[in-house]
A and B are shown apart, each in its own frame.
Chain A
Amino acid sequence: MTAAQEAPVETPKRQPSMKGTFKRHKLLTYVVLLAFTVLYVGPLLMLVMTSFKSLPEFFRNPTGLPESFGLSNFTEAWELAKFPSYLWNSFFYTAVATAICVVTSVLVAFPIARGYFKGANLVLTMYIVALFLPPALIPQFQLILNLGLFNTRTGFILLFLVNPIGIIILVNYIKSVPRELDESAAVDGCGYYRFVLTIITPLIRPAIATVTVLHAIGIWNELVLPTIYLTNDDLYPVTRGLIAFEGLYGSNWPQLAAAVLMLMLPMLVLFLFLQRYIISGLTAGAVKG
């Protein structure tokens, strides 16, 4: 059959054949997506199944389904390490540092966005430049050490009080709030602090939520700084605690898996609820050019 012979019949057939291609594309899309899903769900599934096995069972049958779904690994792991303390520490560091960071950031971002003091643009540039400077790791350590805050909660929290990306997100968002609002509030005799707190803050809630979530996740997941600054395991956050637990009981994978699972659960649940803010935070400014 030649192309010339086929040409006249092709026009009426075009519609169904396109549908056919579409269906094939759709199938292919699902196949690729499912293949990736296996790579993402597989390791998690292994974690879950391992956490329900006894150690001998794990050695006998590391990859299969567990024989029963007892919780003994979870309770044992829970008792072996100070997990309630790790969770509390993580929560405490994250909450305190994020609160201070967000409040101070809003108060920094608002006058910058409005140009309420001279050199506001220069200050904004300084925050942007900060993103490209060398890591502060070594001098920060010397600073904390010389302040006598090594291995203390205060010193550790101090490390997480600044977020230049957060300032940039807030400044951009505040710029979208009409300036006339400031003018009419000022005319009505509203004070500066009250204005920022009761009028601006509710208006920029999406940006605040984004910065809060982004900053909090960063602190919760940080591993290197607790490794450097905290030597007392009463002060360990979850990440450091997990690695310490691995160091001690790493050969007992079922227990370790149970510990990992327990400690990642709060984050996973939060993620499902806050996904929108997390993603908007990570993509903020990325697509505007």
Chain B
Amino acid sequence: MRIVDRNYLFARGWKSAAPILFFVPGFFLYLFIAVGPSLATAVYSFTDATGIRGIAINWIGFENYDEFLFRGAASRDNIAALTRTLYFSFFVTTIQFGLGLLLAVLLKRRLRGTAIFRTIFFMPVILGVAIQGLIWKLFLLPSRGPAAQVFEWFGSSSEFLGGQPRQAFIWVIVVQIWANVGITMVIFLAGMQTIPEELYEAARIDGANGWQLFTQVTWPLLTPAVNTNFLLNIIGSLQAWQLFLVLIGYRPGTQVLGYLVFAEGFGQTSGSVTSAFRQGYAAAASIALFMLVLIIALSANFIVTQREKKYMP
């Protein structure tokens, strides 16, 4: 059997195996550390695996799922975390999408200084969660920080990240959007660059105003970028939890599903990883999160396809 395709023109004989030989290491790594473990998550979710080497792993069927969803106070917390994940995702997606679009539209006008503005708004993306989180922890310092000062001017006050769970949760949403709106913005900007300028000119000659230019030209022709951002924002925000780790830690009443997986699988505090943690249970939680992402992403994808049919027949 020949593995190498007929259109391969380089050496014949044993040397023709070269593309396969060089292909194998990368592909092996992919199977071994990416796809394999990814699929194995489902397998682990049916076991009582711990994070300790040498302890036997037993098959326990649907036990983890049963416990995760239906048993006692913990399951009620889990369901609450699930709902919270949906809230988080909804607010992050809609606001980040809206602000990203607004910024892109404003920067598209090519006024003086737009390159600098774009750099500024994109900057947090490359700083990473640890630095994003610490910067905002300082900015939101209760009673002393700049944000507290602003609240004071308006005769109000807030405990910010240290306040009620709901309050802390809202601030994490704010930071999440602050940190990632730059990605949404540059994707919109890249999409806008593919719209031919003549279309705007033609529409202007026909007497279209700014708003009409946006709704009749920009928005329909931006469909690919709109769809990408919509899906990326939904999937990204459902899985995001790292800012919770940096900003508020594992606090009851604030966790989202992603954080729950981490906390159950690896312990709530960092550094003490090797003590007995419930990795089977965490794997089940992680499959639950995956199902949630899958269902929502598929529905979103359905909406997106309908939109594409409408605008790009």
Point out the residues of chain B lying under 8 angstroms from A145, CB to CB: 51, 53
Q: Known: A120-B5, A130-B34, A288-B224. Contact between A25 and B23, CB under 8 A?
A: no
Most buried by B among A132, A223, A240, A256: A223
Contact between chains at A42 and B128 (CB < 8 Å): no
Contact with B along A85-109 (1 / 0, CB 8 A): 0000000000000000000110110
Contact between chains at B279 and A46 (CB < 8 Å): no
CB distance from B35 to the nearest CB of A (A): 5
Enumerate A244-276 residues with CB–CB distance to B below 8 Å: 244, 246, 253, 256-257, 260, 263-264, 267-268, 271-272, 275
Point out the residues of chain A lying under 8 angstroms from B191, CB to CB: 286-287
Contact between chains at A224 and B39 (CB < 8 Å): no
Give chain B's interface residues, CB within 8 Å of chain A. Answer: 2-5, 7-11, 15, 18-20, 22-23, 25-27, 29-30, 33-44, 49, 51, 53, 102-103, 106-107, 109, 111, 117, 119-131, 134-136, 138-139, 141, 144-146, 149, 178, 183, 186-187, 190-191, 193-194, 210, 223-225, 227-229, 232, 239, 242, 245-246, 261-262, 265-266, 270-271, 273-274, 279, 282-283, 286-287, 289-290, 294, 297, 308, 312
Bound-state CA distance A288–B58 (Å) is 48
Task: Please pick, from B9, B120, B124, B229, the residue contacting A182 in the complex, using a CB distance under 8 A.
Answer: B9
Q: Please classify the interface of chain B as helix (H, G, I), strand (E, B), loop, or mixed, using the class held by over half of its residues.
A: helix
Contact between chains at A289 and B224 (CB < 8 Å): yes
Q: Which residue of A lies closest to B284 (CB)?
A: A138
Contact between chains at B35 and A138 (CB < 8 Å): no
Please choose the segment from A2-10, A69-77, A154-162, A202-210 that sits at the chain B interface, where 4 or more of its residues have CB less than 8 A away.
A154-162
CB distance from A72 to the nearest CB of B (A): 18
Task: Please pick, from A47, A126, A139, the residue contacting B135 in the complex, using a CB distance under 8 A.
Answer: A47
What's the A-B contact tally at a CB cutoff of 8 Å?
Answer: 301
Contact between chains at B35 and A133 (CB < 8 Å): yes
Contact between chains at B194 and A287 (CB < 8 Å): yes
Contact between chains at A139 and B5 (CB < 8 Å): no
Contact between chains at B38 and A36 (CB < 8 Å): no
Contact between chains at A191 and B120 (CB < 8 Å): no
CB distance from B17 to the nearest CB of A (A): 9
CB distance from A280 to the nearest CB of B (A): 8
Bound-state CA distance A222–B25 (Å) is 24
Contact between chains at B186 and A279 (CB < 8 Å): yes
Contact between chains at A138 and B19 (CB < 8 Å): no
Contact between chains at A36 and B103 (CB < 8 Å): yes
